[in-house]
Amino acid sequence: MAKKVLYLGQGKWCWTETCKVHAVIIAYKNEYLDAVANRDEEKIIQSTANLLSTPEGQHTYRYLKIAELEKTLGRKLTLGLDLDGTTGDFTHGLRTYMGEKLKITKGQWLKKFPSPQEYAMWKGEGAWYSDREDFLNQFQKAETEGLYTRVPVFKHASRTLEDLKNYGFKITVITARNIAYTKDTRAWVRDNKIPTRKVLHLGIEKEKAKNIDVYLDDAPEVISRLIKHEKKIVVMNHLYNKSIEDHDNIRRTDGWNETLVNAVFELLDDRNKAKGIV
């Protein structure tokens, strides 16, 4: 039976070791495996650079890297995935709800509810609510009226998560949503094709989740807690988290694109990060 020998991305494989089209990349892959087996750091770095020189080689390197780490840890690597503000456009979902409740035109939505400059939406210039009590009253009502089912997923999020799963990651949703709305949350996860069946409701205490290798999040307080507990985080950029200082365990992304995937792998690979390869 033929075996998978080269990962081409998007769930596709080259199945033969003698493939003429991918012969050079297969050779680089074998060089990498030999270097890892022999713990030859210099050859690991060189063979990694060779693999990363082509898209097919890059996909293969990522797959091999996850397999290598999985063997070291004795378990599958896991991404801890936040939903609102990270995977889904929470601001748009809440803006839509508020606009409809106030019966104002769509042209007035953005003016009345601009992109928040503070995570606490009753603070800062362009605050949506007069104070914390006003926010809680209106937000809790929105929750009961199905807010979480109407948050649009960010462009390319589902596809990118599927790619990460194909590289070998497990995906665990870790959300601050009230557990009372887990039914809505699970429906959202299913309907938006998020490749997971595991949903944890941990509030801001996301560091309590076990065996999470990289977190994806946007909330400043959550990020600060994760840094304190020496966790690795890819931060989804928003105005309200720009003030978070750079840290060795943080990488940033503006969306669900190659920058996000690169950030995940850079956080996992100190060897090649130090050499400026990944």
Domain boundary among 40, 73, 106: 73
Residue 269 is predicted with a pLDDT of 82
Query: Do the domain assignments include residue 240?
Result: yes
Query: Do the domain assignments include residue 134?
Result: yes
**What is the tally of structural domains in the chain?**
2
- Using alpha carbons, select from 198, 237, 233 the residue that is nearest to residue 214: 233
183/238 same-domain check: yes
59/112 same-domain check: no
For tokens 């650079």, name the residue.
Answer: 49
Query: Do the domain assignments include residue 236?
Result: yes
Query: Do the domain assignments include residue 1?
Result: no
Q: CB-based contacts of 249: which residues, under 8 Å, 6+ apart?
A: 226, 227, 230, 231, 232, 233, 267
84/179 same-domain check: yes
Query: Do the domain assignments include residue 256?
Result: yes
Residue 240 is predicted with a pLDDT of 97
At residue 199, the 3 state secondary structure works out as: strand
246/146 same-domain check: yes
50/105 same-domain check: no
47/80 same-domain check: no
58/114 same-domain check: no
Query: Do the domain assignments include residue 57?
Result: yes
204/157 same-domain check: yes
pLDDT, tens digit only, all 278 positions of the chain = 578 999 999 899 999 999 999 999 999 999 999 999 999 999 999 999 999 999 999 999 999 999 999 999 999 999 999 999 999 999 999 999 999 999 999 999 999 999 999 999 999 989 999 999 999 999 999 999 999 998 999 999 999 999 999 999 999 999 999 999 999 999 999 999 999 989 999 999 999 999 999 999 999 999 999 999 999 999 999 999 999 999 999 999 999 999 999 999 999 986 544 444 44
30/156 same-domain check: no
Q: Residue 104 belongs to a domain with what CATH number?
A: 3.40.50.1000
174/44 same-domain check: no
Residue 181 near residue 148, CB atoms below 8 Å: yes
Counts of helices then strands in the chain (DSSP H, E)? 11, 8
Residue 172 is predicted with a pLDDT of 98
User: Which structural domain, as residue segments, surrounds residue 33?
Assistant: 6-73
How far apart CA 254 and CA 256 sit, in angstroms, is 7
Domain boundary among 73, 103, 125: 73
Residue 270 is predicted with a pLDDT of 66
Domain boundary among 73, 91, 106: 73
106/133 same-domain check: yes
122/61 same-domain check: no
Residue 271 is predicted with a pLDDT of 57
